[in-house]
Structure 1
C-alpha cells in the first residue's frame, strides 16, 4: 500500500476524512486481518492513548465496509 493511500486510510479511521476508490482497492488488497491488526497496533501506541478504542474500531469497520462496497460495485460506464 503506497504512502498516499496509507495516509488516506489513516485519516479516514483516526481523524475525519474520506478514502478514495483507488486507496480502497489497495486497502482491501491487504486483507481484513492485516487491516484490523494495523488498527489495533496503532491504538497500542502511546500517542493514541487518549483516543477511544471503541470509536476507532467502529470507524475502522465502517471504512472497511465502505471500501468493500465501493470495490464490489460496478463502475458506471462512460
Structure 2
C-alpha cells in the first residue's frame, strides 16, 4: 500500500512539474515573439470571445489574428487555459474551437473575395 502512495505522489509531482514547465514555456514563447504587441486589445477580446463564448470575429480581427501567427495564437490560448479561473471549461472543446477560429480566419484572408 505504501508503494501505491509513493507512486501517486510521484505522478502528482510529475504532472505539476509539467504544468509549471508549460506555463514558463508559453510565457517564454509569448515574450520572445512579442505576441502581445502584434494584435490590438479589441481584437484579442474579439478572438477570445469567439473561442470561449462562440461569438463572431470580424474580418479586421481575423486579419490581425493571421498577422499574429499560429505560433503566438496557440501560445496565448494555452496560457489562458492555464489560468485557474478557467477550470470548468472543456480543454478539448477550447482547443478545437481555437483551431477552428484560426482555420476560418486563414480561409477568410486567403479568399479572393473576402466579405466586407
Q: TM-score, normalized by length of structure 2?
A: 0.63
More displaced stretch, 22-31 vs 67-76: 67-76
Distance 2:109 2:58 in 1: 11
Q: How many residues align?
A: 76
Q: Normalising to structure 1: TM-score of the pair? A: 0.92
C-alpha displacement at 1:75, in angstroms? 2.9
1:44 is aligned to 82
Match of 1:3 in 2: 41
Q: What CA distance in whole angstroms lies between the structure 2 residues aligned with 1:6 and 1:64?
A: 13
RMSD of aligned alpha carbons: 1.0
Kindly name which structure, 1 or 2, has the bigger radius of gyration based on alpha carbons: 2
**Higher relative contact order, chain-length normalized (CA < 8 Å, sep 6+):** 1
Structure 1 spans left out of the alignment, 5+ residues: none
Pairing 1:24–2:33 present:
no
